[in-house]
């Protein structure tokens, strides 16, 4: 209920407890402020927002709307006070606006004009801190407003910054007084909230004046969160990148999204097609390259059949491009041999959740995590792989008092915020999940009504779980039984509980089993199909969700419609005007095997890099070497492209239109900001041209037209078109009127009833032994992205870290005689690499961890390509359990 | 040090913990490593510990000296001639630009009210207090405390 507030003699209605400053601004009152920012808690220190409330001068930012308020927003006394306060604020400030790059974009400059105070440059002797790779802090331009410190703590949950010293010498500091000594990871939230030129990007300092510039909105490519970014462009170059204050990221970004795009425009970008002749790449024209590909593929198809051709689509490309690619493989070539890197990340999620719920995507929205009472994070190093989502989780804990349970073999950053950390042995996930459910059932904490009304298969499931007593589980997993009991109680008793997981759950030979167990836990406690409660697989690539949605998978057509379902297939045959194969195609790893068995003759790769990303690389590289005809379409000459017969230059996400679907099923726009570099073309145009040359005509005027076709054949995208982009819809979008779906399975599961699938624990494919005593796991780090094609070309990201390393536990290090910084050789029975040791207790004794981004010591030379029997996902996370660390 | 830290669990005891740690040490300052340990114990970042250390002048973090002389320059002491005492003291000890003198064994700091206004002007040498001072008395005290 609104209440009456009198402002400057006029009456208004306001909501009780609203921030007074916000309210006054909402009715059009121009009140100056510096330390106030709607995203952080009120500070009330700059004293610029002074108003009179019932005759008394107060800071309006710290007041709440209450009964019988009479506010005067300005009179002579107030304006004298404001001006005086401002003069004090800036008296020690080096307001040398003429030589400042953000001249004209500065809040202090604006305020000076409003309050009629003249600013001058002064010689002030505060030491500038330029030790961060990405930003610079100039205390002489700092108004000590507290915004950066609070943003770091309250928005990002990091709390790296603090004021040091006192009186006139106060300054913002990180670590032991300089940025480089601190825990700062370069997310840049502080820069975005700084009202002056005190905190600025180093890239900005290279420009004398930022104004005038142009600003473009688009979607970030560095992970599945789908952060909305504003790219500031001047003279054809990126000035800086800022987080857009909207869904899903609300202004936040990570170091890659804010500072990593310089890697897109390095001089070695592919600018024209290349054809390999006698082992050497030669520049060619588009006509020549496209004709060669069309002829070769047609010939191979005629001679060996359509199934002798395979295609790898790309989770980095847009929905439209993935749709065109799979249509090309299916309609033009005539095979279902199309797959993409989802096979290596969430194939088991899709398979498992399809069985349990009928839909393989994240059930809830990202922002719901902030409101969950209990969050269980397992197999996701969220801070490094999905940094912005980790900020939501941290805020849930810091601000809303949520309880966090982390189940991870490594002591990841989130454990600092966790109530419980269960450190399981790699690959024993089914065991601890069954253990938790055993406790829940024994103590009668299950949600009986949900089980009865919404699920099936409970009794059979129960009999399996009964075997997994906490004692037994402790033996398998190494987690103390008391911790399992405590975690089970905490999770089961929560009002709303969300499970967040990623590759640590899926990349196992038991990946599908792990996912099924997670679904079981959610159903057992009734934590699915509700607001703030659900099963949330975090997708790794910017469009890995979308690539699957539009059918870049060997067993399903767009919209997860099975290729062997005759009715569905018929629908596509009509739409595309060709007959389609009803035989499921090959998956990524199976393609490589089939090449080596001489069953596959040609491989078409669009924007993927299997020569670095796939397990057991020696085997993969042999396949790439031996395949008769290899086409690679990419923005750089990737490790895979080096094996190609023809390389086609694609343009980057900054040079094309399209859409990405993020991890929470939300369709987001990608905008063209720059003209294609050199002769490069968009991926969909290239594929359309090849298809047309091969006799199946594909002509589209725009990405929007392709999306219309997608919507017409894909029920979950059915109501979508480009004129609804601003709505930022989440699929399923059944019709033009449908508003999208915030969380899935609300009234019923996609498959009808949720299915309990009982799962028994099975050992990983490889276990440590006397020869290879350590468990090896692989994963991502914050500063790099996948095979590093873009991130390792960034000047900023590489300054943080640019060499491979292996995490070794101190006790294991002692046994091998290894110190931090020593070069060590790591061996499995598939290969061997040499890299630097980092001795730390992030890993537990007996295990080691290697990030997989680095080609000079490719972790995937070591990993096991043993597959999950259902999802065909390889065991990146433990399979290479036989591992030896030797000093070299 | 760990023993001291274990007495305090909560961030609000940060100042007490630092006091106790410094009391146990001969050099009244903290190393980077110690700051890191304190930060980790209270689950805060190092900058926050540094912020507290540099805010309170009673915590000396910058210089390693044998004795710290804190002269009050708040109003009561000021009126009773503290300013002249400061000049005298710095000359007497031969202080450098960092206010270190007496062959490196004394650090002279001007501080806010020591709560000894009734015996102004007052100084604190390490944890001992002295009041009703003039130049002669101060000289004597310094010699006795060398």
- Quick one: pLDDT band at residue B29, thresholds 50, 70, 90? confident
> What span, in angstroms and rounded, lies between the C-alpha atoms of A643 and A622?
10
User: Which chain A residues touch B51 with a CB distance below 8 Å?
Assistant: 162-164, 173
Average pLDDT for A211-228? 95
The predicted structure's pLDDT at residue B56:
82
8 Å CB contact between A451 and A458? yes
Q: Where are the beta strands (DSSP E) in A688-846?
A: 754-755, 775-779, 805-808, 823-828, 831-839
What are the DSSP calls for A271-298, one per residue? Answer: -S-EEEETTEEEE--HHHHHHHHHHHHH
User: What are B130-141's pLDDT values in tens digits?
Assistant: 999 999 999 999
CB contact under 8 A, A181 and B32: yes
B/e letters for A827-852, b = 16+ CB within 10 Å, e = fewer, are: bbebbebebebbbbebbbebbbbbbb
The CATH number given to whatever domain includes residue B119 is 3.40.30.10
User: What are A603-641's pLDDT values in tens digits?
Assistant: 999 999 999 999 889 999 999 999 999 999 999 999 999
Domain that holds residue B71: 67-144
Do B134 and B83 lie in one domain? The reply is yes
CB contact under 8 A, A177 and B50: yes
Angle between helices A76-90 and A107-115 (to 10 degrees): 140
- Quick one: pLDDT band at residue A123, thresholds 50, 70, 90? confident
> What span, in angstroms and rounded, lies between the C-alpha atoms of A535 and A515?
9
Q: Using a CB–CB cutoff of 8 Å, tell me whether A176 touches chain B.
A: yes
Q: Using a CB–CB cutoff of 8 Å, tell me whether A183 touches chain B.
A: yes
CB contact under 8 A, A176 and B45: no
8 Å CB contact between A647 and A637? yes
DSSP-assigned letter for residue A531: T
Do B73 and B126 lie in one domain? The reply is yes
In chain A, how long is the greatest CA-to-CA distance? 92
DSSP-assigned letter for residue A322: H
B33 within some domain: yes
Residues with Cβ < 8 Å from A657, sequence gap 6 or more? A318, A670, A671, A672, A702, A703, A704
The predicted structure's pLDDT at residue A518:
96
List the single residue in B43, B54, B57 with the smallest CB-CB distance to A164.
B54
Do B80 and B104 lie in one domain? The reply is yes
B62 within some domain: no
How many C-beta atoms surround the C-beta of residue A653 within 10 A? Answer: 25
8 Å CB contact between A523 and A357? no
**A98 class by beta-carbon count within 10 Å (0-12 exposed, 13-18 middle, 19+ buried):** exposed
Do B132 and B79 lie in one domain? The reply is yes
User: Which chain A residues touch B110 with a CB distance below 8 Å?
Assistant: none
Q: Which residue of B has its CA nearest to A177?
A: B47
Average pLDDT for A317-321? 97
Average pLDDT for A786-804? 94
* 3-state DSSP assignment of residue B15: helix
* Angle of CA points A521, A762, A585, to nearest 5°: 85
B101 within some domain: yes
Report percent pLDDT > 70 for chain A.
99
ipTM of this model? 0.76
- Quick one: pLDDT band at residue A887, thresholds 50, 70, 90? low
User: What are A21-72's pLDDT values in tens digits?
Assistant: 999 999 999 999 999 999 999 999 999 999 999 999 999 999 999 998 999 9
- Quick one: pLDDT band at residue A645, thresholds 50, 70, 90? very high
Which region holds residue A363: left if phi is over 0, alpha if psi is between -120 and 50, else beta? alpha
Q: Using a CB–CB cutoff of 8 Å, tell me whether A174 touches chain B.
A: yes
* Angle of CA points A658, A661, A666, to nearest 5°: 120
Closest among A539, A497, A501 to A522, alpha carbons compared: A497
Do B40 and B72 lie in one domain? The reply is no
Helix H or strand E encompassing A214: strand A214-219
Average pLDDT for A409-418? 94
Do B85 and B128 lie in one domain? The reply is yes
List the single residue in B43, B45, B55 with the smallest CB-CB distance to A166.
B55
Q: Which residue of B has its CA nearest to A174?
A: B47
User: Which chain B residues touch A153 with a CB distance below 8 Å?
Assistant: none
Do B77 and B134 lie in one domain? The reply is yes
The predicted structure's pLDDT at residue B63:
61
User: Which chain B residues touch A190 with a CB distance below 8 Å?
Assistant: none
User: For residue A881, is pLDDT > 50?
Assistant: no
Average pLDDT for A477-488? 96
User: What are A825-859's pLDDT values in tens digits?
Assistant: 998 888 899 999 999 999 999 999 999 999 999 89
Do B138 and B108 lie in one domain? The reply is yes
> What span, in angstroms and rounded, lies between the C-alpha atoms of A384 and A256?
10
How many C-beta atoms surround the C-beta of residue A190 within 10 A? Answer: 25
Q: Where are the beta strands (DSSP E) in A329-402?
A: 338-339, 374-378
Give the residues across from B67 on adjacent strands: B106
B60 within some domain: no
B61 within some domain: no
8 Å CB contact between A257 and A225? no
Q: Which residues of B touch A (CB under 8 A)?
A: 32, 35, 43-48, 50-51, 53-55, 57
User: What are B85-110's pLDDT values in tens digits?
Assistant: 999 999 999 998 888 888 888 889 88
B127 within some domain: yes
Tokens 């050992």 found at? A763
Do B47 and B82 lie in one domain? The reply is no
Last residue of a domain, one of B55, B78, B98: B55
Do B136 and B72 lie in one domain? The reply is yes
> What span, in angstroms and rounded, lies between the C-alpha atoms of A820 and A834?
14
Closest among B35, B62, B7 to A162, alpha carbons compared: B35
* 3-state DSSP assignment of residue A138: coil
User: Which chain A residues touch B50 with a CB distance below 8 Å?
Assistant: 162, 164, 173, 175-177
**B92 class by beta-carbon count within 10 Å (0-12 exposed, 13-18 middle, 19+ buried):** middle
In terms of DSSP bridges, do strands B106-111 and B100-101 run parallel, antiparallel, or are they unpaired? Answer: antiparallel
Do B71 and B138 lie in one domain? The reply is yes
Closest among A129, A192, A132 to A156, alpha carbons compared: A192
Residue A753: both structure tokens together: 């009833």
The predicted structure's pLDDT at residue A753:
93
What are the DSSP calls for B32-77, one per residue? Answer: HHHHHHHHHHTT--HHHHHHHHHHSTTS--S---SEEEEEE-SHHH
Average pLDDT for A735-763? 93
Its pTM stands at 0.91
B17 within some domain: yes
Do B51 and B98 lie in one domain? The reply is no
> What span, in angstroms and rounded, lies between the C-alpha atoms of A1 and A3?
7
Number of domains in chain B: 2
Q: Using a CB–CB cutoff of 8 Å, tell me whether A168 touches chain B.
A: no
User: What are A361-397's pLDDT values in tens digits?
Assistant: 899 999 999 999 999 999 999 999 999 999 999 999 9
């Amino acid at each position: 209920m609104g209440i009456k507030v009198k402002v400057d003699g006029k009456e208004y209605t306001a909501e009780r407890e609203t921030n007074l400053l916000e309210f006054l601004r909402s009715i059009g009152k121009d009140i100056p402020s510096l330390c106030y920012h709607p995203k952080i808690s009120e500070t009330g220190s700059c004293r610029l927002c002074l108003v009179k409330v019932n005759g008394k001068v107060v800071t309006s930012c710290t007041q709440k709307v209450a009964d019988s308020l009479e506010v005067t927003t300005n009179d002579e006394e107030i304006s004298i006070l404001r001006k005086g306060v401002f003069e004090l604020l800036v008296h020690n400030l080096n307001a040398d606006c003429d030589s400042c790059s953000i001249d004209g974009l500065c809040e202090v400059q604006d305020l000076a004009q409003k309050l009629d105070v003249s600013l001058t440059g002064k010689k002030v002797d505060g030491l500038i801190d330029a030790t961060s790779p990405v930003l610079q802090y100039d205390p002489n331009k700092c108004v000590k407003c507290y915004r950066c410190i609070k943003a770091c703590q309250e928005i990002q949950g990091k709390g790296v910054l603090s004021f040091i010293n006192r009186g006139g010498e106060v300054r913002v500091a990180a670590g032991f007084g300089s940025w480089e000594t601190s825990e700062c990871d370069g997310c840049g939230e502080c820069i975005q909230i700084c009202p002056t030129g005190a905190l600025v990007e180093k890239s900005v300092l290279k420009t004398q004046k930022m104004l005038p510039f142009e600003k473009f909105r688009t979607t970030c490519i560095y992970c599945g969160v789908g952060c909305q970014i504003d790219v500031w462009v001047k003279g054809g170059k990126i000035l800086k990148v800022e987080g857009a204050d909207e869904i899903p990221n609300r202004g936040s970004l990570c170091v890659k999204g804010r500072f990593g795009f310089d890697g897109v425009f390095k001089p070695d970008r592919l600018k024209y097609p290349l054809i390999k002749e006698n082992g050497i790449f030669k520049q060619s024209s588009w006509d020549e390259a496209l004709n060669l590909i069309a002829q070769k593929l047609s010939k191979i198809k005629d001679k060996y059949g359509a199934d002798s051709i395979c295609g790898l689509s790309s989770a980095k490309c847009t929905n439209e491009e993935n749709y065109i690619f799979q249509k090309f493989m299916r309609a033009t070539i005539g095979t279902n041999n199309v797959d993409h890197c989802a096979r290596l990340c969430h194939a088991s999620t899709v398979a498992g959740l399809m069985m349990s719920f009928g839909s393989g995507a994240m059930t809830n929205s990202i922002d719901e995590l902030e409101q969950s009472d209990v969050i269980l994070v397992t197999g996701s190093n969220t801070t490094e792989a999905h940094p912005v989502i980790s900020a939501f989780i941290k805020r849930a804990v810091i601000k809303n008092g949520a309880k966090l349970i982390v189940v991870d073999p490594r002591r990841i950053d989130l454990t600092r915020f966790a109530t419980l950390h269960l450190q399981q042995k790699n690959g024993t996930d089914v065991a601890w999940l069954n253990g938790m459910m055993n406790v829940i059932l024994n103590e009668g904490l299950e949600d009986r009504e949900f089980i009865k009304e919404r699920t099936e298969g409970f009794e059979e499931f129960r009999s399996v779980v009964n075997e997994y007593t906490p004692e037994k589980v402790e033996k398998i997993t190494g987690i103390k039984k008391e911790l399992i009991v405590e975690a089970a109680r905490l999770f089961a008793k929560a009002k709303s509980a969300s499970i967040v997981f990623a590759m640590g759950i899926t990349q196992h030979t038991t990946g599908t089993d792990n996912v099924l167990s997670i679904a079981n836990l959610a159903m057992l406690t009734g934590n699915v199909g509700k607001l703030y409660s659900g099963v949330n697989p975090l997708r790794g690539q910017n469009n890995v969700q979308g690539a699957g949605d539009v059918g870049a998978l060997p067993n399903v057509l767009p919209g997860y419609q099975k290729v062997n379902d005759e009715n569905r297939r018929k629908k596509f045959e009509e739409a595309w005007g060709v007959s389609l194969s009803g035989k499921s195609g090959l998956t990524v790893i199976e393609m490589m095997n089939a090449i080596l068995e001489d069953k596959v003759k040609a491989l078409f790769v669009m924007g993927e890099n299997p020569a670095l990303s796939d397990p057991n690389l020696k085997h993969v590289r042999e396949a790439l070497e031996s395949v008769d005809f290899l086409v690679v379409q990419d923005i750089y000459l990737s490790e895979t492209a080096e094996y190609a017969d023809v390389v086609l230059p694609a343009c980057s996400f900054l040079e094309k239109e399209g859409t990405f679907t993020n991890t929470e099923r939300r369709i987001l726009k990608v905008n063209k900001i720059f003209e294609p570099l050199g002769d490069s073309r968009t991926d969909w145009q290239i594929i359309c041209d090849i298809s047309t040359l091969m006799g199946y005509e594909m002509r589209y005027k725009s990405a929007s037209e392709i999306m219309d076709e997608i919507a017409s054949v894909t029920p979950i995208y059915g109501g979508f078109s480009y004129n609804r982009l601003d709505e930022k819809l989440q699929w399923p979008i059944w019709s033009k009127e449908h508003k999208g779906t915030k969380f899935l399975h609300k009234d019923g599961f996609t498959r009808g009833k949720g299915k309990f699938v009982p799962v028994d624990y099975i050992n990983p494919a490889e276990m440590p032994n006397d020869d290879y005593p350590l468990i090896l796991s692989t994963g991502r780090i914050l500063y790099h992205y996948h095979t590093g094609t873009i991130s390792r070309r960034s000047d900023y990201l590489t300054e943080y870290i640019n060499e491979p390393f292996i995490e070794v536990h101190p006790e294991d290090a002692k046994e091998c005689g290894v110190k931090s910084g020593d070069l060590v050789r790591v061996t499995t029975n598939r290969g061997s690499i040499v890299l630097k040791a980092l001795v730390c207790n992030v890993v537990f004794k007996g295990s080691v961890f290697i990030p997989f981004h680095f080609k000079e010591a490719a972790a995937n030379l070591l990993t096991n390509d043993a597959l999950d029997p259902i999802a065909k996902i390889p065991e990146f996370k433990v399979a290479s359990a036989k591992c030896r660390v030797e000093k070299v | 040090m760990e023993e001291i830290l274990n007495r305090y669990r909560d961030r609000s005891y940060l100042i007490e913990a630092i006091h106790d740690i410094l009391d146990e040490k001969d050099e009244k300052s903290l190393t980077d490593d110690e700051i890191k340990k304190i930060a980790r114990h209270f689950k805060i970042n190092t900058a926050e510990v540094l912020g507290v250390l540099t805010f309170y002048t009673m915590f000396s973090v910058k210089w390693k000296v044998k004795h710290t002389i804190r002269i009050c320059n708040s109003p009561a002491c000021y009126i009773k001639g503290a300013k002249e005492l400061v000049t005298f003291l710095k000359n007497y000890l031969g202080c450098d630009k960092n206010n270190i003198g007496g062959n490196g064994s004394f650090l002279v700091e001007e501080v806010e009210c020591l709560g000894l206004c009734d015996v102004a002007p007052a100084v604190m040498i390490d944890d001992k207090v002295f009041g009703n001072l003039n130049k002669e008395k101060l000289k004597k005290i310094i010699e006795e405390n060398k």
